[in-house]
Amino acid sequence: MTLFFSSLQSRWLLTGLSIIVIAGCSSSDSRYDIDNDVAPTTPISVDHIEGAQPKYEPYSMGGNKDYKLRGQQYTIVKDAQGFTEKGQASWYGKKFHGHLTSNGEVYDMYSMSAAHKTLPIPSYVKVTNTDNGKETIVRVNDRGPFHEGRIIDLSYAAAKKLDVIKTGTANVKIEVITVEKPTGKHQLDKHPKYGIQVVASPHKDRITKLSNELSNTLSVETFLSPIKNNYRLMLGPFSDYKDTHDALEQVQKLGYTSAFVKKL
């Protein structure tokens, strides 16, 4: 009975944490140091801070699932290449400084970052303040803003660069900057590796046969990972998290609904 309640409490805790992380900068949770968001007490100059430098990054394991918030369903953009959007930008600062973003990073109001409701995390976005013509590049690593008409929440530093601090909001155009995945084994080794565990079995001959079948059907690499008296059938390795999830969807459609992603 004790074990049952411990397991149940753990699931409740994880569910609660997931909701908090998805909510990102929209939350008014008491875990924050202050109730209302403000600029830093003693602002530092951000003139020396350059816009984010676009580079290839695999999508993060956190913050990239479709979600529902306040009765609204949000579907994450699968392919952001060529994505543009017009609307209002707002900003967030001291209240969220030092707290987790939707993908588990720590929010730094002096970084050139931003929050968007549906762009994959991370994404690099060129933001143009159409009210004054100023522009900069930010890295999206959070979810929000969840207010009507607002399409992006800028960090304090990014908002300062675009002169959004004074007005609170501004009309903007955002354009996703896509960086192609690097080729060559040496370059890919710099990025995290992911695998998909399909099944585990003590029967090596059977799982080897299944491994070959899945490899041919899905056109992906497979391998066996021995653990104690079992063999785990793995797909991969993958260096791109989007590719990993595409393969996961395919294998689940074949009936292996318990398959899951592991960081190798």
Q: What is the pTM of this model?
A: 0.60
pLDDT tens profile 32-62: 343 445 456 566 667 778 899 999 888 887 7
H or E element: which one contains 207?
A: helix 204-218
Tokens 């992380």 belong to 21
Question: Do 124 and 162 belong to one domain?
Answer: yes
What DSSP character marks residue 65? Answer: S
Question: Do 134 and 32 belong to one domain?
Answer: yes
Question: Do 108 and 41 belong to one domain?
Answer: yes
Q: What's the confidence (pLDDT) of residue 50?
A: 86
Question: Do 21 and 145 belong to one domain?
Answer: yes
Say if 8 falls within a structural domain: no
- Tell me the mean pLDDT in the region 236-260: 86
Q: What's the confidence (pLDDT) of residue 43?
A: 62
Mean pLDDT (the chain) is: 81
Question: Do 190 and 120 belong to one domain?
Answer: no
Question: Do 79 and 23 belong to one domain?
Answer: yes
- Tell me the mean pLDDT in the region 124-142: 96
Question: Do 99 and 167 belong to one domain?
Answer: yes
| Structural domain containing residue 133 | 17-177
Q: Long-range CB contacts (< 8 A, 24+ apart) of 50-55? A: 50/112, 51/112, 51/136, 51/137, 51/138, 51/161, 52/112, 52/113, 52/124, 52/137, 52/138, 52/139, 53/137, 54/124, 54/137, 54/177, 54/179, 55/124, 55/179
Query: What gap in Å lies between CA 53 and CA 122, rounded to an integer?
Result: 12
pLDDT tens profile 179-199: 988 766 545 455 668 889 999
Question: Do 119 and 31 belong to one domain?
Answer: yes
More confident residue, 54 or 4: 54
H or E element: which one contains 20?
A: helix 2-23
Query: What gap in Å lies between CA 174 and CA 83, rounded to an integer?
Result: 8
How many domains is the chain built from? 2
Q: What's the confidence (pLDDT) of residue 170?
A: 96
Say if 6 falls within a structural domain: no
Which residue, 123, 151, 177, sits at the end of a domain? 177
Which residue, 159, 177, 195, sits at the end of a domain? 177
Question: Do 205 and 256 belong to one domain?
Answer: yes
Residue 227: pLDDT over 90: no
Say if 114 falls within a structural domain: yes
- Tell me the mean pLDDT in the region 93-112: 81
Q: What's the confidence (pLDDT) of residue 44?
A: 62
Q: What's the confidence (pLDDT) of residue 8?
A: 37
CATH assignment at residue 163: 2.40.40.10
User: How many Å separate Cα 167 from the centre of its chain?
Assistant: 29
Question: Do 79 and 166 belong to one domain?
Answer: yes
Q: What's the confidence (pLDDT) of residue 163?
A: 93
Residue 263: pLDDT over 50: yes
For residue 84, list its beta bridge partners.
Answer: 175
Question: Do 169 and 143 belong to one domain?
Answer: yes
Q: What's the confidence (pLDDT) of residue 155?
A: 93
Say if 203 falls within a structural domain: yes
CATH assignment at residue 202: 3.30.70.1070
Residue 247: pLDDT over 80: yes
Residue 213: pLDDT over 50: yes
Residue 4: pLDDT over 50: no
Q: What's the confidence (pLDDT) of residue 190?
A: 58
Q: Coil, strand, or helix at residue 153?
A: strand
Which residue, 177, 202, 224, sits at the end of a domain? 177
Say if 93 falls within a structural domain: yes
Q: Of 209, 239, 244, 243, whose CA–CA distance to 224 is shortest?
A: 209
pLDDT tens profile 144-174: 999 899 999 999 999 999 999 988 999 999 9
Name which of 21-25, 47-51, 99-103 the model is least confident about: 21-25
Say if 27 falls within a structural domain: yes
- Tell me the mean pLDDT in the region 93-117: 84
Name which of 74-78, 239-243, 254-258 the model is least confident about: 239-243
Q: What's the confidence (pLDDT) of residue 238?
A: 86
Question: Do 214 and 170 belong to one domain?
Answer: no
